[in-house]
Chain A
Amino acid sequence: MERTSSLRRLLAEASPFRSGDALAGVAAASDEDRVLAQMELADTPLKRFLNECVIPYEEDEISRLIVDSHDFAAFGPISSFTVGEFRDWLLTDAAGPETLAALAPGITPEMAAAVSKLMRVQDLILAASKCRVVTVFRNTIGLPGRFSTRLQPNHPADDPAGILASTIDGLFYGAGDAVIGINPATDSPENCFRILNLLDSLISRYAIPTQSCVLTHVTNTMELIRHGAPVDLCFQSIAGTEKANASFGINLALLEEAREATLSLKRGTVGDNVMYFETGQGSALSANAHHDVDQQTLECRSYAVARRFAPLLVNTVVGFIGPEYLYNGKQIIRAGLEDHFCGKLLGLPMGVDICYTNHAEADQDDMDMLLTLLGAAGCNFIMGIPGADDIMLHYQSTSFHDAAYLRKLLGLLPAPEFEAWLEKMRIHDARGALLSPGDGVQALEMAICGQ
């Protein structure tokens, strides 16, 4: 390995092996080359990252965002480190929650990606567990000892009764404090408006301290806002290059416009983090917009986009994109922990859609491992889907039972406002444990079915 490697190439060759980098033709040629690249990366000064973009500044608005928004003062405490020293320091007690929070604006996505490539699974967990990112809308997400879920009651025909049935199921398992979020089967504004009304009436009628979201394109959401729809959160899938975002039909200016439109509704009661972003390794390559950068570095660059807009939730959908990017359970598990750690290090409220598709070499055992590791790492939220089976998007994620398992195992509680509501509804007891079904069920069920 020559010392003259570009940062782009060095990061790609130092990346732990995954199928997407092989597909892109950027992976190291052998395991030995990979470790040699990691050694070279470990000796690389962090300052080099301030002078060398992986995608040229002139060509890409995400590169410009990263460079122009870098906080050099915040970077001060680590400015003399190499990437390897940064990794070692992150594992010491000197790197505590307050220090890391203050450091976040001084860390670029490429620095986060680089250091993660030198970390093993336990490092990714330990360092992430020290990062606290708290966000607010109608409740408070990400506090220590708390663990939230997005209730995802998708239905293949967007049938209101079907959506409500899954929502009720989730609420009775204590799910839904991150958001009740629906991926619509059809994107028509008429249909999205109908679903938003449905969720809004449920949330207001039962005074549930949570927020709703219909996961449609930002331009649709803006149109819905113009027509008076009850939009709590504005959703968008984002990626780490300007070209990939263009393939999603978005750019930074459009996201800013969407955020302002959503903020104008002032629907948050505790705070105003109104954006919900989804990301996932491989999205840039799938749009042929990867500029020969490895997929994990590109994933971190999408966090620069997210960070600009102070989101309530950032969700890396880790195994959704398929085996051509993350081939099996081993690759999915590592990617989920990398994304969670890097996002948290950059100051983002990270959640993970712990998932796989039926054409990947993975199963529930792999998901249980990632779920448990993310619980230990302090992940802000995961998905809650009836029986882990999304009957609209055709993939397996985590179930209401999975979230209840993790809360029980690690003694984690929902967002405090939501916790109080669960207790009032006799779904949880005073210590946050799931009560046996029945006590609070009939009232809510009857009322909702009567709608």
Chain B
Amino acid sequence: MRAVKPTAEDPWKALRLHTQARIALGRCGVSLPVAAWLEFRLAHARARDAVLTGFDKEFVRGELEKQGLDVLTLKSAALDREEFLARPDKGRRLSGASAAALREYADSGEKTGADVCLVISNGLSARAIHDNAPPFAAALTPRLAAAGLSLAPVVVVDNGRVAVADEITHMVRARLSVILIGERPGLSSPDSMGVYMTFEPKPGCTDETRNCISNVRPGGLGIAESVRKLCYLVQHAFSLGYSGIRLKDDMPAAWLPPGQPFDSHKTIE
């Protein structure tokens, strides 16, 4: 018997131009051909590795300081990566030592009572933060300044969850928190960053008080667009006096944020 090629291609492969989704994989019978299967396994292996990559806080601090920002580095209550994964409650609050350090800082009165507190944490993907947080901060902070909003020192937290920003912002008595955090790494997106905004946060806040912008990464929502969206949300949170589900993201397509046009932020000093 002559061997017949067991796999059939899907004739709509040209549609791959439009998406990074795994379309037109072909089939053997109705099942997934071996090459596509092994590619999937490789991506999963990489994503697993990404979850466990360490957070280079000093790199992030250095990048932020180059932008002229004051930076504090703190730790969540999760002792290590394993505890961080199994105990999200610990990632939502600061370690005893970090809380004490921040309280001491806040009690000194310096730079407290700012309008905005920017928090940055590795969350579930350090790579997302290494790649995206410094350029995001560089695009965001001049716009906040142009809108007349003051900024608390940027707080970089090891192994934090979204809610850790509530405690931090509350302690430094800032009015609104923005946290940049590594999202769950996807197979084709180990570098995706989430941005959460909460007006007047305090420990115990739940999700309905937040606004979220997700998929911030090259190939997802770009830095310029996500900063534009965040500026819109920040401005409305201050004018309405709340954030969350009642604050609809109905930004008009042509809305321009305060400050310089985009692409020129690198020249702002």
- Which A residues lie at the B interface, using CB under 8 A? 19, 23, 153-157, 159, 161-166, 168-169, 172-173, 185-190, 217, 219-220, 223, 246-249, 286-289, 322-324, 327, 357-359, 363-364, 385-396, 399, 401, 404-405, 407-408, 434, 436-438, 441-442, 445, 449
Q: Which residues of A contact B67 (CB under 8 A)?
A: none
Contact call A324/B85, Cβ cutoff below 8 A: yes
Contact call A153/B21, Cβ cutoff below 8 A: yes
What are 5 of the A-B contact pairs (CB < 8 Å)? A159-B19, A172-B10, A387-B22, A394-B185, A441-B10
Q: Indicate whether B66 reaches chain A with its CB closer than 8 angstroms.
A: no
Contact call B11/A190, Cβ cutoff below 8 A: no
Contact call A187/B18, Cβ cutoff below 8 A: no
User: CB-nearest residue of chain A relative to B163?
Assistant: A288
Q: A172-B10, A437-B8 are in contact. Are A363 and B245 (CB under 8 A)?
A: no
Q: A287-B206, A441-B12 are in contact. Are A364 and B19 (CB under 8 A)?
A: no
Q: Indicate whether B249 reaches chain A with its CB closer than 8 angstroms.
A: yes
Q: Which residues of B contact A159 (CB under 8 A)?
A: 18-19
Q: How far is the CA of A327 from the CA of B86 in the complex (A)?
A: 8
Q: A169-B10, A442-B11 are in contact. Are A249 and B208 (CB under 8 A)?
A: yes
Q: A188-B249, A327-B86, A401-B31 are in contact. Are A358 and B50 (CB under 8 A)?
A: yes
Contact call B40/A359, Cβ cutoff below 8 A: no
Q: A23-B89, A189-B248, A358-B44 are in contact. Are A396 and B12 (CB under 8 A)?
A: no
Q: How large is the interface on B (under 10, 10 to 19, 20 to 34, 35 or more residues)?
A: 35 or more
Contact call A156/B87, Cβ cutoff below 8 A: no
Min C-beta distance of B167 to chain A, whole Å: 14
Q: How far is the CA of A173 from the CA of B27 in the complex (A)?
A: 10
User: CB-nearest residue of chain A relative to B48?
Assistant: A358
Min C-beta distance of B115 to chain A, whole Å: 24
Contact call B245/A188, Cβ cutoff below 8 A: no
Q: Which residues of B contact A155 (CB under 8 A)?
A: 19, 21
Q: How far is the CA of A434 from the CA of B22 in the complex (A)?
A: 19
Q: How far is the CA of A449 from the CA of B16 in the complex (A)?
A: 12
Q: Which residues of A contact B213 (CB under 8 A)?
A: 186
Q: How far is the CA of A220 from the CA of B198 in the complex (A)?
A: 20
Q: Indicate whether B214 reaches chain A with its CB closer than 8 angstroms.
A: yes
Cross-chain contact of A387 among B36, B48, B220 (Cβ < 8 A): B36
